[in-house]
Amino acid sequence: MDAGLLCVVRKKIQLIEDADILIAATALNKEISLVTDNQEHFKRVHGLKIHNGLM
């Protein structure tokens, strides 16, 4: 699969980037909240406690 097609597929099915998966998994494993301005992105992770970093 070429990079352009992968980009389209990622956008269409809204995959979470590898680094963000690692961040979310770490927060879940440590049972801590994730502070982020990107709540829409992380709200798909079941059980993850999210707080907005700008508020």
| 1-55 confidence digits (pLDDT tens) | 456 666 666 666 667 888 888 888 999 999 999 999 888 888 888 899 999 977 6
Residue 1 pLDDT = 45
Q: How far apart are CA 17 and CA 32, in angstroms?
A: 20
Residue 34: domain span: 3-52
Alpha helices in 1-55 (DSSP H): 3-13, 18-30, 39-42
Domain count, the chain: 1
pTM of the full structure: 0.69
What integer pLDDT is reported at residue 17 of this predicted model? 82
Q: What is the C-alpha separation between 54 and 51, in angstroms, rounded?
A: 9
